[in-house]
Amino acid sequence: MQVCDFILCLLHSVTNTHILHWQTKSFSEHMALGEFYNEMQDLVDELVEAYQGKYGIIEGFTNDFEVASNPLEYLVSLSDEVKQYRAAFPQDSELQNLVDEIAALIDSTVYKLRFLK
């Protein structure tokens, strides 16, 4: 796993949920996805800046992108991806704490999409 792959996965979640936010006809999904992409963008920025402060500039970003179609399925799969990436991500507690915040945001959004209709 390269750090840039993890960061791209997280950045793509901002774009995907923004697109899903525009496409939904459900008010509760619209609101949950709007909160998600606003908060995730800031969390990814914090994670990248903390990582780069400790390890240097992240390089090697690719241009792969796939648009999601189902908000709940997408967020559940994102949760699984974060679990996989975090195992290979540096284990420094301050970086893992930022990943914890990202995972908590995903979990909270899954809850909202699944139960608050």
Write the pLDDT tens digit of every residue in 7-66.
Answer: 999 999 999 999 999 999 999 999 999 999 999 999 999 999 999 999 999 999 998 899
Does the predicted model carry a pTM greater than 0.75? Answer: yes
- pLDDT bin (cut points 50, 70, 90) of residue 3 is very high
pLDDT of residue 64: 87
Say yes or no to pLDDT of 1 above 90: no
Domain that includes residue 8, residue range = 3-115
Average pLDDT over every residue of 77-106: 97
pLDDT of residue 81: 96
Residue written as tokens 């606003």?
A: 38
Are 110 and 71 spatial neighbours (Cβ–Cβ below 8 Å)? no
Other Cβ atoms closer than 10 A to 86: 18
Are 76 and 109 spatial neighbours (Cβ–Cβ below 8 Å)? no
Distance CA 73, CA 50 (A): 30
pLDDT of residue 33: 98
- Looking at the structure of the chain, the number of domains it has is 1
- CA dist list (Å): 3 to 46, 48, 89: 14, 9, 7
pLDDT of residue 117: 84
CB burial of residue 29 (10 Å; 0-12, 13-18, 19+): buried
Distance CA 26, CA 86 (A): 32
SS3 36: helix
